Amino acid sequence: MLHTLSIGELAEQLASRRISSVELTRHFLARIERLNPSLNALITLTADGALASASAADARLAAGERAPLLGIPLIHKDIFCTDGVRTSCGSRMLDNFVAPYDATVVTRLKAAGAVMLGKANMDEFAMGSSNETSFYGPVKNPWNTAKVPGGSSGGSAAAMAARFAPYTTGTDTGGSIRQPAALTGVTGIKPTYGRVSRYGLIAFASSLDQAGVFARSAADAAPVLQAMAGFDPRDSTSVDTPVPDYGAMLDAPLRGLKIGLLREFFEGLEPRNAALIHDALKVYTALGAVTVEVSLPHLPLSVPTYYVVAPAEASSNLSRFDGVRFGYRCEQPKDLADLYKRSRGEGFGPEVKRRIMTGTYVLSAGYFDAYYLKAQRVRRLITDDFRAAFAKVDLLIGPTTPTPAFDIGAKIDDPVTMYLNDIYTIGANLAGLPGLSLPCGFVDALPMGLQLMGPHFSEGKLLGAAHRYQLETDWHMRTPQGYE
């Protein structure tokens, strides 16, 4: 079946004209229409546009053009602006918003010949760890539809796990690619902050947000990240540094690679989860890697630090959604103050309101120094810990999540417990580091993820380390029952 093939295999079939992009696109559209109602993974399906793009890709292929992503379908997280297509950010506030331009990520993948099938469901304004805060309802995990897929990019992760597309895009502010990748059994990479442009990505926390990729494997993720990465003058946080050939780095030998075991990640870790990580380490040591125990003493402070910094930035970024210029507008406002209050009160969901209120509080006079400034100082300490660790090792390894996927509704009324699901992923965002999650086994018949982190701009090394592991194991090849 076409949905079981890798990106490389699909590209070869397209290039040899054994299949056409239109045929491939129709296959995935039919699969989405049949299976998505049980998952709620997509907000918008762009069938007509997809078929038009596929037809254009076929013309390029017929003319002899060859490219890794030419004619291959994808699904974008509904946080990326897409010209002429609704971009809702999972919120009632933007339910009627049709973007007038493309995000840079969308532009670059279009130029590579990608075919957009639709937009994936997500936690409202990317705020959540379970994909239950969406205005369009929760996304369900293909491995068990009573479970969450993780968030905020849960729609993209669930769509990838169900093989609705060969790859999907997501964003990661505190773990929102890696955590849902782990809970749905797919590969997800968050690149270095600044490696992929944020232009046209609707902002949650500007110093933390970063676009990335979901795919079946590291080998599939490499050409997608290759197409997305690079300097963008329209993004003031974009870094002007060369992008290496990620595909060429996949087969780099691991002999002598120093992998750091994060002591803090294993303290109190559930034994079955810990056993999976140690089994993965055996694979790496058999490939010639060397393990070294390291410590990040300030890492336990990452969750409280994040939940000061991120809401503070969100309270500023979301002030533009006021019912005046675009988005949701309340009915018959009495005056300007009523327009603001009711539009925001009716347009935002509970989790977004909670974070706006928290952020406004920590930025307010009398509390700025006590909370926000102190959080930024701790952020620096966490970054320094990572820098010291990478002076000793090449990569860091540990679990992606503390537990497998939990029941829908189990934590939605307990925000603090929900926030702790990101305890292993937030540190990389605070330090602007790249991170990758890849499947490494199952607990209670649910997938678990192995997390790799590296120094700035080490995406190629992360992809290579993941690829070599995936050549030795088949966890990434497993598909949920009913989605084979």
Give every CB contact of residue 451 below 8 A, 6+ residues apart in sequence. 178, 182, 397, 398, 399, 400, 424, 425, 435, 436, 437
Could you tell me the two tokens for 289?
A: 């890697």
CA distance 36 to 38: 5
Q: Does residue 58 sit in helix, strand or coil?
A: helix
| Whether residue 411 lies in the annotated active site | no
Q: What are phi and psi of 280, to 5 degrees?
A: -65, -35
Shortest CA distance to 189 belongs to which of 454, 418, 469, 430?
454
Which residue among 20, 21, 88, 152 is the active-site one?
A: 152
Is 77 tagged catalytic?
yes
Query: Could you count the other beta carbons within 10 Å of the beta carbon of residue 103?
Result: 26
Residue type, 358: T
Residue 214 belongs to what H/E stretch? strand 211-215
Catalytic position from the list 53, 129, 176, 302:
176
Q: Please say if 53 is a catalytic residue.
A: no
How far CA 208 is from CA of 1, 14, 410, in Å, comes to 39, 37, 27
User: Sign (positive/negative) of CA torsion 373, 348, 74, 69?
Assistant: negative
Q: Compute CA distances 312 → 226, 342, 352, 428, whole Å.
A: 32, 22, 12, 19
> At 212, phi and psi to the nearest 5?
-155, -160
Dihedral angle sign, alpha carbons of residues 327, 331, 332, 334:
negative
Alpha carbon distance 168, 188 (integer Å): 10
Q: Which of 77, 147, 190, 461 is catalytic?
A: 77
Would you name the residues annotated as active-site residues?
77, 152, 176
